[in-house]
Amino acid sequence: MDSQKRKKEVFTMNKNDQNFLIQKIRTQYTEKEHTDLDELKKLDKKVKRPATVFAYVFGILGAIVMGSGMSLVMTDLAATLGLTAPMTSGIAIGVIGMVMVLVNYPIYKGILGSRRKKYADEIIALSDKIMNK
């Protein structure tokens, strides 16, 4: 009998919990109003996304190039490809990949900085408008 009473207590919600759950479900079915804050978030993403996409793609390519150089040195892939000096070409390709990976972050910062300069006035004006409401 005591365990049944405990189960009943676990499943009963207080009024605040019920209201919270109701509001959570209700917001899924109401139309959201577009605000200046939404516009500010959209502009921020517009600034950051190209730099981030570039950094991921260029970094992945650099890692693949570096790994290809390592594969030439460490496996018999060079013999399959018909290369006579796998150590030199593998090291050269690996160094190219390392350089790509090393310059990735400065290039990312450069792209991000230029995009911040481009959109700075618009973002500052919109953020001032939001803060002064």
Burial readout 9-45 (b: 16 or more C-beta within 10 A, e: otherwise): eeeeeeeeeeeeeeeeeeeeeeeeeeeeeeebeeeee
Query: What pLDDT score was predicted for residue 4?
Result: 60
Q: For the segment 101-113, what is each residue's pLDDT rounded down to a tens digit?
A: 999 999 999 999 9
Check residue 47 and give its pLDDT. 95
2 pLDDT higher than 90: no
